[in-house]
Amino acid sequence: MPKLRTLIQQNKPPKVTTVGDIVSRETLASGIQVNLRIVDQMTLRKSISPVEIKAERIYRVRNPAGIVTKEAWDAIKGALQHTEAVIYVDGEEDLLAIPAILESPDKSFIVYGQPSQGVVVVTTSPDIKHEVREMMNRMTEE
90-142 confidence digits (pLDDT tens): 999 999 999 999 999 999 999 999 888 889 999 999 999 999 999 988 876 65
Number of folded domains that form the chain: 1
Indicate the average pLDDT of the chain. Answer: 92
Q: How far apart are CA 11 and CA 132, in angstroms?
A: 22
Q: Give tens-digit pLDDT for 43-52.
A: 756 666 667 7
Q: Does 13 fall in a domain?
A: yes
Cβ-contact 32, 1 below 8 angstroms = yes
What pLDDT shows up at residue 121?
98
What pLDDT shows up at residue 89?
96
Q: Does 54 fall in a domain?
A: yes
Q: Does 107 fall in a domain?
A: yes
Is the predicted pLDDT of residue 56 greater than 80, yes or no? yes
Q: Does 142 fall in a domain?
A: no
pTM of the model: 0.92
What pLDDT shows up at residue 142?
57
Sheet holding 118-123, edge to edge: 57-63, 85-91, 36-39, 16-19, 109-114, 118-123
